[in-house]
Amino acid sequence: MTRLATAELMRRALAQGTAIPAFNIPYLPMMAPVVRALADTRTFGLIAVAKLEFTKFESGSPTAIRDEYERVKDETVTRLHMDHVPVIDEDNLRVDYLAMLSECVELGYESVMVDGSRLDLAGNIACTREVVAMAHAKDVPVEAELGAILGHEAGPLPPYEELFTSGRGFTDVAEAVQFVEETEVDWLSISIGNIHGAISAAKKTQKKIAARLDIDQLGRLRDATGIPLVLHGGTGIQREYIQAAVANGIAKINVATAIRQPYEALRDQSIERAQEAVYAATCELVTEELAIAGNAAPLTA
């Protein structure tokens, strides 16, 4: 069987009306049960890590994640993805994003994400084009973000209903068209009501806000850009919204809080029990909430 690249798998997910989940790994022992759950449910997914997970949690480094992935991977159902590497991070500090993403490409990450969403449109385009040029030279696809997906900041969020009703931070269709044309990015993370789970020490154990999605705006973005779209902050969104999103252009869904919190709740008692909680949460998520269990065969055929 031909081993398909991540970019082709994403295009197939879009064409087939399914989604590829990306599981963020803030603690290295979480990776093995996620891979096992994907294999047991025959679900294709990405093993992912973001910069904040090796600076604010315990995944170590891009190298540590790559090494653990090489130990536990199952390439019939997994690929390795570098998630959010921001240009300006959640603490408003400038990041040496190009050096970090170049390192990830050299380490063998099979797709990477640059997040310039805290910049203005021109700045986001410029940074993304820089990363695309570097990564595409090595045949590595690039994800970027346009719009404001809140939740990682230290301060309190505005009331969610106020955010949703106003459309504050939602990805603009005309800007998305310009962004895709000028950057040649492979897929795009968008804001349509989704939010990240909190990562501050005081809030990371709290139940996540039940977000909803503007499916009409999603449809407009899909029609205008023509590329796979990505939903970050997938935990806690009602199943009907998730399924509607997948039917309307979302080809990748990021999951973090739903598997991190069960692990954190049990790891001080037993790493093995914590790993089993991650396994169970992953199986339930792909089978029940996302309803994509078994997608590996049609995606990779």
The reported pTM is: 0.89
Confidence at residue 135, expressed as pLDDT on a 0 to 100 scale: 98
196-217: b (≥16 Cβ within 10 Å) or e: bbbbeeeebeeebbebbbbbeb
Domain ranges of the chain: 6-300
Confidence at residue 203, expressed as pLDDT on a 0 to 100 scale: 45
Confidence at residue 202, expressed as pLDDT on a 0 to 100 scale: 38
- Give the pLDDT of the chain (301 residues) as one tens digit per residue: 578 999 999 999 999 999 999 999 999 999 999 999 999 999 999 999 999 999 889 999 999 999 999 999 999 999 999 999 999 988 889 999 999 999 999 999 999 999 999 999 999 999 999 999 999 999 999 999 998 766 454 555 666 666 666 566 789 999 999 999 999 999 999 988 877 544 334 344 445 456 778 899 999 999 999 999 999 876 678 888 888 999 999 999 999 989 999 999 999 999 999 999 999 999 999 999 899 999 999 999 8
Confidence at residue 161, expressed as pLDDT on a 0 to 100 scale: 62
Q: Identify the architecture of domain 6-300 in CATH.
A: Alpha-Beta Barrel (3.20)
Confidence at residue 164, expressed as pLDDT on a 0 to 100 scale: 62
120-158, pLDDT tens digit by residue?
Answer: 999 999 999 999 999 999 999 999 999 876 645 455 566
Confidence at residue 133, expressed as pLDDT on a 0 to 100 scale: 98
Is 124 within 8 Å of 179 (Cβ atoms)?
yes
CA distance linking residue 193 with residue 150, whole number of Å: 9
Confidence at residue 257, expressed as pLDDT on a 0 to 100 scale: 87
Confidence at residue 272, expressed as pLDDT on a 0 to 100 scale: 98
DSSP letters along 119-165, please? S-HHHHHHHHHHHHHHHHTTT--EEEEES---S-SSSPPPPHHHHHH
Q: Which residues pair with 252 in a beta bridge?
A: 20, 230
